[in-house]
A and B are shown apart, each in its own frame.
Chain A
Amino acid sequence: MPKLYSGAEIVFKCLEDQKVEHIFGYPGGAVLPIYDELKNHPTIKHILVRHEQGAGHAAEGYARSTGKPGVVLVTSGPGATNVVTALTDAYMDSVPLVCISGQVPTHLIGTDAFQECDTTGITRPCTKHNWLVKDINDLPRIMHEAFEVATTGRPGPVLVDIPKDIQFAKAKYFKPKKEKKLDGKFLNRFKQKEIDQLVDLMKKASKPVFYTGGGVINSGPKASELLRELVALTGFPITSTLQGLGAYPGDDNQFLGMLGMHGTYEANNAMHDCDLLINIGARFDDRITGKIDEFSPKSKKVHIDIDPSSINKIVKVDLSIVGDVSDVIKSTIKTLKKKNLNLEKSNKQKLSKWWQQIQKWRTKQSLNFINSDKIIKPQHAVQRLYELTKNQDTYITTEVGQHQMWAAQHYKFNKPNRWMTSGGLGTMGYGLPAAIGVQVAHPKKLVVDIAGEASILMTMQEISTAVQYNLPIKIFILNNQYMGMVRQWQELLHEKNYSESYSEALPDFVKLAEAYGCVGIRAENPDELDEKIEEMINIDRPVIFDCHVDQAENCYPMIPSGKPHNQMLLGPKDQEVNKISGKGKSLV
């Protein structure tokens, strides 16, 4: 007779077999049997957060910086509802999460029992799939399936809801089935013919551009290497979405910078004027495309994506290739080499005109800002942070808003999995718990959350988690006392009616840091900035860095709403010039 295990034991046996080393969670009545079992499994370390949303974002940071699924453990009712934001965030940004939630005992389901909620009902639209385990014998299968669903295809969050009586009940355990991997076939539906078509389009193009996204990162580090090879082989310019940063070196000459609403002038104009647009692992998000009717009007469009439903969802494309990014790029490189099309050389003349045009756009220096020696400009702060941390392998997370865009614009990433930001859902409060997850996965690395003072207050409590586990994360707050992005939109579009975007009563972040038992640093003028940043880096404890920046600074360049890529608003320098010429015109 095979050994019988309790539901709680089965949960841990599955986690062990799935090689899980860390789980992020918060105990409560309906998961107590699982928490009771924790002590018997020394290879699995539990990180106790202060709020379940923090557990979810920490697991996201963990997943995005390692490529492994993040695991979350929460109780029923409020435990489950608190994690919904993080699940939705992970769903939007394709982050593999496995969330295990406790549930009231099966006989109480539907009776409005204490801390009962319809967890699978609530999380159905924000997970790839979820399960309510009603029979203990299903538990091993469901747990293994959960990991499979979360990590294969386009990754995403899943949830397993386990009633308390199931956690006590006993059943046989079996290991995940080593099925013949159908995945290769299932995920890669592309045919050589499509690769040939792509190569053909590449050969004919005179104004090509690569537009790459988070799919490259999700496809693993190999995909980034292959992407670099492909870009070098073709000599084409490349731009990246917010989520794709790091897949291609940010300081390389072929890289045009990020595209989209706050992307660079050269990247957006290249997208608008190109004759061949190759989308690799991105999804034509509305922050990227601007006005759809006028999006890249002259180009042939190619879309490479693992998710068939991403194709033709927003932009109709001429060639779609459904597959894992690294496999598609590998085949493309192979075909390019076989046909001996050294595009970089053979196309040099054709492409040189295109590159000349790009150089012209580059001279606009659209990321420029007017620096000051009296007040810290937020862009300057990010640039200094980059300069002072680029010599080491640094992981950056962010909250959501102006600081996030400045970080994306001015921090240059050279490796994948170093940049964790909430792009799809835009969750303020993401960065601090995400930094915790990253630091748990990479205890010796420098992890910085570039934050805003409004966002950080949404999940501030998690600094207590960082202190508990000696996680030396650095919270770099660009403090302008406003919800900066809200303020910017109000200034530009709502006649400077700054309705509820100013925080009247902010905490003293240095004292707050001390209260939590970590280190607080404040920088108020540009002269002391470098010295203080160095101080922050050298402290081997969690630090809250309160960087007081210009309150009125706006994030440029910017594509105003409803405008196409080639009608960008540039920064104050350029606006000054335009203003003068405008007045000049009216005088004539």
Chain B
Amino acid sequence: MAKSKSAYSTPSKLGKIDTHIIVVWVDNEASVLSRVVGLFSGRGYNIESLAVAEVDQKNNLSRITIVTTGTPQVIEQIVLQLKKLVPVHKVGNFKREDKKVIFKEMALLKIVANASKIKKALNVCKKYNLVILDQTNKSAVIQITALRKEIDKVTNNLKPFGLVSVSRTGAVAMTRGAEIFN
């Protein structure tokens, strides 16, 4: 091995990388999102998707859902570092494979095509809680809710049928059954 000239150590082997969904309850105040996002970018963590909105007007709480990837050690750090932020109340952490948790993402899709293609497009989306929000004889705006990878697939499949625009929310999560997050 060549002699290292660096004043720092060389990186060691990486562990297995998993996808996790991190749910963060925060005070809904100015710059809180940049604190959370800045923590991710500053420490080199990934963000695959991000969904945020106020969920409790009375207590002024927002819920942030972040899909991220990392080794178990990195995921643990993400959770612990988030908990240190002053406006953060609690942090939930779920593996994407976790059966006890429901993950959903919503997408709005615009199709511009002739009637037969639109019909085919609607057919592709049928399985995913399809709602037609707007339809003309040349176009349709539809809403689907599904898993991230399902939406990926749908948008791919819709390309030949005149898909011109996609807007997605990022995943949100909720536990199954009567259980709530701690």
A residues at B contact (CB < 8 Å): 120-121, 124-125, 128-129, 132, 134, 149, 286, 289-293, 307-309, 311-313, 316, 489, 493-494, 560-562
Whether B30 lies near A125 (C-beta < 8 A) is no
Question: In the bound complex, what is the Cα–Cα distance between A290 and B4 (angstroms)?
Answer: 13
B38 x A124 contact (CB < 8 A): yes
**B105 to A: closest C-beta gap in Å:** 29
Q: Are B12 and A308 in contact (CB under 8 A)?
A: no
Can you show 7 pairs from A to B with CB atoms below 8 A apart? Answer: A128-B86, A149-B86, A290-B9, A312-B76, A493-B3, A561-B6, A561-B9
* B9: contacting residue among A292, A312, A316, CB under 8 A: A292
Q: Would you call the interface of chain B mostly helix, strand, loop, or mixed?
A: loop
Contacting residues, chain A, for B86 (C-beta < 8 A)? 128-129, 149
Query: Within 8 Å CB of A292, what residues of B?
Result: 9, 12
B5 CB to closest chain A CB, in angstroms?
5
Question: B34's contact among A124, A289, A316, by CB below 8 Å, is which?
Answer: A124
B52 to chain A, nearest CB (A): 17
Q: Complex: how many Å from CA A312 to CA B83?
A: 15
Are A124 and B6 in contact (CB-based, < 8 A)? no
Residues of B within 8 A of A293 (CB): 12-13
CB-CB under 8 A from A308, the residues of chain B are 80, 83
Interface size counted on chain B using CB atoms at 8 A: 25
Q: How far is the CB of B59 from chain A (nearest CB, A)?
A: 17
The 7 residue pairs across chains A and B that have the minimum distance between CB atoms: A309-B80, A129-B86, A562-B4, A493-B5, A125-B42, A293-B12, A561-B4
A562 near B34 with CB under 8 A, answer no
Question: Known contacts A307-B84, A309-B81, A313-B77; is A562 also within 8 Å of B9 by CB?
Answer: yes
CA distance A474 to B6 in the complex (A): 35
Minimum CB–CB distance from B30 to chain A (whole Å) comes to 7
A489 pairs with B80, CB closer than 8 A: no
Knowing A121-B34, A124-B31, A125-B38 touch, does A562 contact B84 (C-beta < 8 A)? no
For residue A489, which residues in chain B have a CB less than 8 angstroms away from its CB? 7
Q: From residue A454, how far is it (CB to closest CB) to chain B in Å?
A: 17
Whether a CB of chain A sits under 8 angstroms from the CB of B168 is no
Specify which chain B residues have a CB less than 8 angstroms from the CB of A562 in the assembled complex: 4, 6, 9-10
Q: How far is the CA of A286 from the CA of B86 in the complex (A)?
A: 27
User: Is there contact, CB below 8 Å, between B8 and A286?
Assistant: yes
| Complex Cα spacing A291 to B84, Å | 28
Which residues of B are found within 8 Å of A312, using beta-carbon distances? 73, 76-77
- Chain A residues whose C-beta falls within 8 Å of the C-beta of B13 in the assembled complex: 293
CA distance A562 to B1 in the complex (A): 11
Known: A125-B38, A562-B10. A494 touches B5 (CB 8 A): yes
Q: Given A293-B12, A313-B77 in contact, is the A132-B84 Cβ separation under 8 Å? A: no
B148 part of interface (Cβ distance < 8 Å): no
Residue in B closest to A493 when the chains form the complex, CB atoms: B5
Task: Look across to chain A and name the residue whose beta carbon is closest to the beta carbon of B11.
Answer: A292
B38 and A309 contacting across the interface, CB-CB below 8 Å: no
Q: Which residue of A lies closest to B1 (CB)?
A: A562
